[in-house]
Amino acid sequence: MKQIPNIFTLLNLFFGCCAIVYAMQSGISILYNPDGTQFIDIPEKIWLTSMFIGLAALVDFFDGFVARLFKVSSAFGAQLDSLADVVSFGVAPGMILYQFLRMSYVKEVRALDMSIGWLMPAFILSCAAAFRLAKFNTDSTQQYGFKGVPTPAVGVLVASFPLIYWHSGNDLAAQVLLNSWVLYGLIGLLSWLMVSNLPIMALKFKDFSLKNNFPKLLLLAIALVAAVLLKWIAVPVVFIAYIVVSLALKNKTT
């Protein structure tokens, strides 16, 4: 019975590995139209990376719940959880960013001569995720609130990029995601958010009172409305709302 939460955690890791496999599929396709124009795209299978990161996030949410349900929480489980998280929400999202950076540069005239060093900043996010998880494991004060944005939240945000690019139907959003400088900015911002000491609320329910859970219920309402109106673009909207609500909650209590 005590190994059930660890099985959930290993499923998280398994899904993270699957996400990396699909992020590496085939690289970039270059097609030429009859009029001589060039069309560049990453094979659509990369959206499966998003799906597997989403599955990893789902089981990551439930492994802690299952551990508390069976009263088998352990230091071993906490370490295993972080090891899984660094793969699913650190390395796999880093691979997504690598591919988007790669695609953003293919349209350049001298793309074939471009140094791979321009793509390596994608893995700064992976390093920040590992740093944030180690910081979390050694700080006992983050039980009901976080210092810095949780790694799974950043991982899910980055996982939404392929879905926004191919399935949101928003050309402007797709163009933004193919801007290398926007991507570099996102890598720097998201990495900083993870390693910072910003007070971010945990999404655990300590009780069932409306007063104590109002910020979480507000975030849920925003997520539902955004999902209906914005489709996959709802993910970055909810991510921003999560940070804003967390900071507003902190300011209200200080």
Name the β-bridge partners of 30.
Answer: 40
Task: Find out whether 168 and 50 touch, Cβ atoms under 8 Å.
Answer: no
Q: What's the confidence (pLDDT) of residue 68? A: 67
Query: Please, what sign has the CA dihedral across residues 193, 199, 200, 203?
Result: positive
Task: Find out whether 156 and 53 touch, Cβ atoms under 8 Å.
Answer: yes
Query: Is 252 a residue whose pLDDT tops 60?
Result: no
Q: What's the confidence (pLDDT) of residue 55? A: 95
Residue boundaries of the structural domains of the chain: 4-200
Task: Find out whether 205 and 217 touch, Cβ atoms under 8 Å.
Answer: no
Burial code of 181-195, b = ≥16 C-beta within 10 A, e = fewer? eebbebbeebbebbb
Q: What is the pTM of this model?
A: 0.87
> Could you read off the pLDDT of 100-110 as tens digits, one per residue?
998 888 766 56
Residue whose C-alpha is closest to residue 232's, from 150, 162, 179: 162
Q: How far apart are CA 204 and CA 214, in angstroms?
A: 12
Which class does domain 4-200 fall in? Answer: mainly alpha
> Could you read off the pLDDT of 132-151 as tens digits, one per residue?
999 988 877 766 678 899 99
Q: How far apart are CA 57 and CA 64, in angstroms?
A: 12
Q: What's the confidence (pLDDT) of residue 62? A: 80
- In this structure, of 112-121, 223-232, 234-243, the range with the lowest mean pLDDT score is 112-121
More confident call, 173 vs 11:
11
67: tokens are: 């551990």
> Could you read off the pLDDT of 40-78 as tens digits, one per residue?
655 557 889 999 999 999 998 887 667 666 666 677 878
